[in-house]
Structure 1
Amino acid sequence: MSAATTTLSTTTLPDPAGDEGRLTFISTWSTGSPERQRATLDAIARAWQTRAWPHEGLLSYTVYAGADGSTVLHHSRWRDEAAYQDFFASRANGRDARNAEIDAAVPGIERLGLDKTELYRSWTGGRGGGAGREAGAIVIVQADFEGPDPDRQRAWVDAVVDALDGAFGGNGDAGGSGDKGGLLAAHFHVSTDGTRVLNYAEWESEQAHIDALAAAGAGTADPGPKWRRVREFPGVTGDDTVARYRFAYRFVPSRA
């Protein structure tokens, strides 16, 4: 159990490409309405701010409001697997008390699922070498695969990064400087069970993402052989699931 207190930020998004904390948990709740979504976010803020930081191995915990007016996205970054297992085994981590407080404030929240992931690769070609525009929207793109296959997960991500480089003039992981139509960065998380990839994509705004989908038909890049390779990649099941979110709160540890 950490001796740290909890600090809330309403302005600073996490950096998924940071050197620490490549173990990431991503989960979604459904609240049912915009009013309940807002009440859930407020209840989360109260439950976290009024308690000590749950574990020194938890680096940050961020929540987002779904553009659908119902969902709430949770994004937590951990130092490593050992830290998470130590937290999970502890009865003093405060998790049950936090959830009970939130559920009492907003009864009937539906937990839709939890993905345990590791950051594999980030594409930062829209950031202009790391400077400039801030993300006004986070888009989560989910791709599922037939059966566990970590090599296939990574090969698919490599194909997506190659398609992004081809559409936006290269630069890939090293960053770039041109206008990418509102796409700033894409951070590819592979599920630890080998069956899913979650792309945490940073966009300048929700409208920029909507416009990109309309312009390209069904993707973030211009049609072409590299993007067709992604679409026709063997072992991918169904169409990508896409959801837009707005940043709400980020919680980080603070020490006196």
Structure 2
Amino acid sequence: MNAVAHPDARPDLHRAGVGAVLVSTWRVGTPERQRAAVEAIRTAWESRAWPDLGLLSYSVAIGTDGDTLLHYSQWTEEKAYEDFVRTHRDDRNAEIDAAVPGIERVELRRYAPIHRSVVRDGTSTGGLPGIVAVVEADFDRPGPGRREDWVDTVFTALDEDAVTRPPTDWTGFHFHLSTDGGRVLNYAEWESEQAHVEWLSDDARLSEAWRRVHRHPGLVGARVRRYTPALSLSAGV
């Protein structure tokens, strides 16, 4: 089976059978190189057999910063990823690097399947979002329930928003916990970049509920980056 690109360019975030999620970032330098790198990834993957049934999907999104790429892959288990690295990754990366020299592979983090999720009005998030806002929240040390409590605190703030300013521009918030105990990743889908920018700047973000989010015990920093969905691959049938 060869890789098949999906027209909606997004992963099925609640796909059955996912045991591990790998998220990585590349820096490529310019918008032109971002687009070239996505096409190089498409070519390298579609010209080869799908590497292993343990890989369920591989998706790429383009950073609105004109520099980065986000890679989000779903696996049956972490061992499937290790097997891929050992047997299939190098030739693909070599072809991509030949097409777009100088790619900086910044970071790879491993996550458990989705811990908690919400979609607007309880509807499906099957459509393609305008942008994905990825929030990476880092904690100073692993602690029992620390990250889970932080996610619950975010949901409390969102529930308050639903009363005071009903949501109209986001379609889903999806939270992963890293397997090393140090990070929460929020994969949030929005209708547009402007909607997300305006939401962040709204005075409602200064509410007591959101203050508890930002001042949560053990939270040492958070970073937000926005991406446009570009490519989603899975095994052909």
Residue 244 in 1 paired to residue 231 in 2? no
Residue 34 in 1 paired to residue 31 in 2? yes
Q: Which moved more, 1:194-203 or 1:75-84?
A: 75-84
Alignment TM-score, normalising by the size of structure 2: 0.92
CA distance in 2 between counterparts of 1:248 and 1:31 reads: 15
- Give the match's secondary structure for 1:104: helix
| 8 Å Cα contact 2:125-2:172 kept in structure 1 | no
| 8 Å Cα contact 1:127-1:133 kept in structure 2 | no
CA distance in 2 between counterparts of 1:48 and 1:135 reads: 24
Unaligned runs of 5+ in 1: 171-177
Unaligned runs of 5+ in 2: none
Matches within 5 A, 1:1-256: 4-88=1-85, 90-91=86-87, 94-118=88-112, 119-124=114-119, 126-130=120-124, 134-149=128-143, 151-169=145-163, 179-216=166-203, 222-238=205-221, 240-255=222-237
| Number of aligned residues | 236
CA distance in 1 between counterparts of 2:62 and 2:163 reads: 32
Alpha-carbon deviations, 1:5-32, whole Å to 9, x = none? Answer: 2101232411213343141111100001
| 8 Å Cα contact 2:19-2:78 kept in structure 1 | no
> What is the Cα deviation at residue 154 of structure 1?
1.1
- Give the match's secondary structure for 1:233: coil
Query: Pairwise CA RMSD of aligned residues?
Result: 2.1
CA distance in 2 between counterparts of 1:48 and 1:249 reads: 11
Alpha-carbon deviations, 1:101-121, whole Å to 9, x = none? Answer: 011111111111001001211
> What is the Cα deviation at residue 134 of structure 1?
4.3
Q: Which amino acid aligns with 2:158?
A: L
Q: Which amino acid aligns with 2:116?
A: R
Alpha-carbon deviations, 1:102-145, whole Å to 9, x = none? Answer: 11111111111001001211122x15432796411101001100
CA distance in 1 between counterparts of 2:70 and 2:33 reads: 14
| 8 Å Cα contact 1:122-1:185 kept in structure 2 | yes
> What is the Cα deviation at residue 227 of structure 1?
1.5
Alignment TM-score, normalising by the size of structure 1: 0.85
Identity rate of aligned residues, in percent?
Answer: 46
CA distance in 2 between counterparts of 1:29 and 1:47 reads: 16
Runs of 4+ that moved beyond 4 A: 131-134
